[in-house]
């Protein structure tokens, strides 16, 4: 079985990919925050406007963009697939919704980065 087959929007692997991406982002973001705060914490007087928060929000924007691109790809697949391939169409619809939910969860998880100073 080829890995390219797993990348198709109608493949069942798409059902878990979005939430796995969110989980990896969550672990990387908060583990990275903890490690950076332990070794090279930004100055407390900078507040929320510091290099660490900017880097974490940049990572967040990359992940949100990826999730939205995958959701858009799934939506386009749903519109173009023939009626006779209903299982693939269903998988694509559900995975599109899950990608959008993962993007929303990523945004919600990153909101503290915008307003709270790290390492307090």
Looking at residue 1, its pLDDT comes to 55
Tell me, yes or no, whether 8 lies in a domain: no
How large is the average pLDDT for residues 22-37?
94
Question: Across residues 48-71, what is the average pLDDT?
Answer: 94
Quick check: is 85 in a domain? yes
- With the CA atoms of 15, 73, 9 and 1 taken in that order, what torsion angle do they form, in degrees rounded to the nearest 10? -110
Q: Is residue 2 part of a domain?
A: no
Instruction: State the total domains in the chain.
Output: 1
Give the range of the structural domain holding residue 70, as residue numbers without chain letter. 14-38+46-115
Summarize the confidence of residues 58-67 as an average pLDDT. 97
Q: Is residue 72 part of a domain?
A: yes
CA angle, 25 then 88 then 85, to 5°: 165
Q: Average pLDDT for residues 45-57, to the nearest whole number? A: 90
pTM summary value: 0.89
CA distance 108 to 103: 9
- 24 domain residue, yes or no: yes
pLDDT > 90: what percent of the chain?
58
In a domain, 9, yes or no: no
Q: Which residue has the tokens 């963009």?
A: 65
Residue 4 lies in a domain: no
Give residue 88's pLDDT band: very low, low, confident or very high (50, 70, 90): confident
């Amino acid at each position: 079985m080829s890995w390219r087959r797993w990348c198709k929007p109608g493949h069942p692997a798409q059902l878990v990919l979005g939430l796995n991406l969110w989980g990896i982002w969550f672990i990387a973001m908060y583990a990275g925050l903890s490690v950076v705060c332990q070794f090279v914490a930004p100055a407390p007087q900078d507040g929320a406007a510091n290099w660490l928060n900017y880097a974490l929000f940049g990572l967040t924007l990359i992940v949100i963009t990826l999730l939205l691109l995958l959701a858009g790809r799934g939506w386009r697949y749903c519109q173009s697939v023939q009626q006779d391939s209903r299982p693939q169409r269903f998988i694509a619809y559900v995975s599109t919704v899950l990608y959008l939910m993962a993007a929303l969860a990523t945004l919600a998880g990153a909101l503290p980065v915008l307003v709270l100073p790290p390492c307090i």
